[in-house]
A and B are shown apart, each in its own frame.
Chain A
Amino acid sequence: MKKITGAKIVIESLIQENVKVIFGYPGGAVLPIYDELFKQKKIRHILVRHEQAAVHAAEGYARSTGKVGVVLVTSGPGATNTVTGLTDAMMDSVPVVCLSGQVPTHMIGNDAFQEADIVGITRPCTKHNYLVKDVTKLAGAIHSAFFIAKNGRPGPVLVDIPKDIQTFKTRYEGKKLTKKISYYKPTFEPLKDEVDKVVEFLSNCKKPIFYIGGGVINSGIKASKELLELMKKTGFPCTQTLMGLGAFPMSDKQFLGMLGMHGTYEANMAMYNCDLMICVGARFDDRITGKVSGFSPNSKKIHFDIDASSFNKSVNVDLTVKGDLFRILKLINEKISKKNLLFKKSKYIEWWKQIEKWRSRNCLKYKQSKKVIKPQYALQRLNELTKKLNPFITTEVGQHQMWAAQFIEFNKPKHWMTSGGLGTMGYGLPAALGVQIAHPKDLVIDVAGEASILMNIQEMSTIKQYRLPVKVFILNNNYMGMVRQWQELLHGNRLSESYMESLPDFVKLAESFGATGLRVEKPDEVDDLIKEMIKIKGAVICDIVVDPTENCFPMIPSGSTHNQMLLGPNDKVDGEISEEGMVLV
């Protein structure tokens, strides 16, 4: 076998991992790898305009395909720019492998030009990371990175490759892991007696609810199928987290809407009043639970997860089942069939009656106006007019994100990409770019706010370069809406620094990047704008001027419980928000 350079080994390893696309930005410390990229045709490189965007694009690619997203950046600033993206991928369990260049090994620690201790910096925000100091260990590190990124609970892995290692030669011996991780074996198979207990719980409840999270989506389409079967067998109601939307069809009657801080009244009330909660791949995040001490006080709780550290982290549960959700759900379904268990409708009729009562409050209603566009209306129309095309939706972070979660219906997994855990403004545009690369023929829409979109607006240039038909749907309210909403509710309406001054002309901005810009200000123009947007073959930026004063409801104020929701602008927080609540975000 011929000896090849480290840079060549990087490319060989990526090919072996079946990588088709990488997102990156060149620089001094990765030039040998870029040179090898130049000489081959199997891997397509997408040149982003900022390294943070490279990671978000890889996340969008990964979340819409289920594959590992790959990033290639240079040392120092190139690497440090990925930190936000890596943290985002960590929080939302997205499989990403980030390859970073590093100064030559003999210069490490010398404060060399463009040197940063990226392995030290990213230690807490990656699942694992490697600094490769020996070229014979390079291939092992890269293959291990892929293995770790996609196995167990997915997450980001960084491989730091000094420049001299890229030029040293060795033999490439194929897809082998480093010896040291041979014992990293996440458990996929749940324990039999735990599954039996789950079935017992299921048959002994009167007011059940399934609480479904992003884990189902990570487990794959097979898990969604098993979940659907279980839902149909039991006839129980369910709610989904922000990350879980689409795991179970949202158009189904059994779905009560998203839960949590901006979840629906019926979902949150059902969570509060249930007697059995079955958590499927969610993690009792603080956006979901509200005040933990008052979280669903009278229920038994079951938790399925692949990650043992998710169990009993913030909420104590009665039964935990560790394993791959697909396997867990499958075994439960089999057990139910084997036992011929029937879930008689009459047993849950009272519960459903109660739920319908909550549902009839119609908590997502808003006051329609003829003069100004309500953001909810714009999204409702977007949903109606694009539904048939089964679009991929990404979002930025803020009010528009919550409204998108409330008003857009996802009936399939992997069509909804949003920054949930970290809440990264600027996520949506690069993520949409990554999704579009993976699905060139599909409709990809970034639902954005005018503040968030400016955080990674430079990616319009990438979109131009690769002629990506990404649609950007900006709900422009001239404010950082969510910040303004909190200032209104919690800080005496003192709107400190939340007004967006000196916004660009988004139509001209679109045009300057070779895209089409559309702007509307009246409700009756919205439909035409959306139809036009779909019709246009290239990228579009839609600037939808919406009511600047609209707030996102329902809302559970921080430090409150699920039964203390604010349903509309006329609901006031009872007295002042407690000091305990004030310090929470």
Chain B
Amino acid sequence: MIKLMEKFQKREWFSSKSNMNEKNTKHILSIMVDNEPGVLARVVGLFSGRGYNIESLSVSEVDSHKFLSRITIVTSGTKLIVDQIKAQLGKLIPVHNLVDISELNSFIGKELILIKLNVKDVVKFELKEKLKKFGAEILLESNSEFIVQYAGTPEEITKLVKLLKNTKIIEQTRSGLVSMATGTDYIKK
């Protein structure tokens, strides 16, 4: 756990992705919203309507008693723009709480990827070994295909895809980042 936390200290995580414009930084916004029709449209519409950037988005219900959903949005912009995004989101009525996770001292950010590989002309045990070493799991295995699951940071996922560059990837799908800060007291309601 401690190792993980170190890995996701924000500086390290962000400095590796240097942007062309120095002032543009990446932010992970975690938003607690009422799980009601149209709430995602309100959030996404705000981004498109005002010309803000969405790099990834994931959303699902997290509290079925209080009907709460949690949205994680990765966005980027200058400090002025990101502050504006946060202020605008804060004005939406169904938004309960909003945390800029990337501004906290330590947090975890993970993404899930599913990859379907064409394994017809591949030495299967070598590939299996490779995947096992990386920590990826094979969910489905047949003569012609593997479906591989892996959860990790966006960088690790890119590494995995690179590792498989000599194998035929039929298709892949990614969940978008989900993120959580460490500590016991920060996202309420």
Which of A's residues lie within 8 Å of B, judged by CB? 119-120, 123-124, 127-128, 131, 148, 180-181, 183-184, 307-309, 311-313, 316
Contact = CB atoms under 8 A, between A and B. Distances in A.
Nearest to B94: A180
A123 B84 contact: no
A211 B42 CA distance: 33
A119 B38 CA distance: 9
B83 to A, nearest CB: 6
Interface in B78-98: 80, 83-84, 87-88, 90-94, 96
Given A119-B38, A183-B96, A183-B189, A312 B80 contact: yes
B36 interface: yes
A183 B92 CA distance: 12
Given A127-B93, A308-B87, 16 more contacts: A120-B38, A123-B38, A123-B42, A123-B45, A127-B91, A128-B92, A128-B93, A180-B34, A180-B94, A183-B96, A183-B189, A308-B90, A308-B91, A311-B83, A312-B80, A316-B80
B37 A309 contact: no
B41 interface: yes
Nearest to B34: A180
Given A120-B41, A123-B38, A180-B36, A312 B93 contact: no
A128 B92 CA distance: 7
Q: Which of B37, B38, B90, B189 has the most CB of A within 10 A?
A: B38
Contacts of A308: 87, 90-91
B49 interface: yes
A312 B38 contact: no
Nearest to A120: B41
Contacts of B93: 127-128, 148, 180-181, 184
A307 B49 contact: no
Interface range, B side: 20 to 34
Nearest to B83: A312
A313 B84 contact: yes
Contacts of B96: 183
Contacts of A124: 45-46, 49
B146 to A, nearest CB: 40
Contacts of A119: 38
Contacts of A313: 84
B49 to A, nearest CB: 5
Interface string B87-125: 110111110100000000000000000000000000000
Given A131-B37, A180-B94, A312 B84 contact: yes
6 contacts: A123-B41, A123-B45, A124-B46, A183-B189, A307-B87, A309-B88
Nearest to A144: B93
A312 B79 CA distance: 10
Contacts of A183: 96, 189
Contacts of B42: 123
A402 to B, nearest CB: 28
A329 B50 CA distance: 32
Nearest to A128: B93
B91 A309 contact: yes
A104 to B, nearest CB: 17
A103 B93 CA distance: 25
B84 A309 contact: yes
Contacts of B49: 124
Contacts of A123: 38, 41-42, 45
A131 B37 CA distance: 9
Nearest to A180: B34
Contacts of A181: 93
A540 to B, nearest CB: 42
Interface string B24-51: 0000000000101110011001100100
Q: Which 7 A-B pairs have the closest CB atoms?
A: A309-B87, A128-B93, A308-B87, A124-B49, A309-B88, A180-B34, A123-B45
Q: Which of A131, A308, A316 has the most CB of B within 10 A?
A: A308
Contacts of B46: 124
B84 to A, nearest CB: 6
Contacts of A316: 80
Q: Which of A127, A148, A312 has the most CB of B within 10 A?
A: A312
A184 B91 CA distance: 9
Contacts of A131: 37-38
Nearest to B85: A309
A148 B94 CA distance: 12
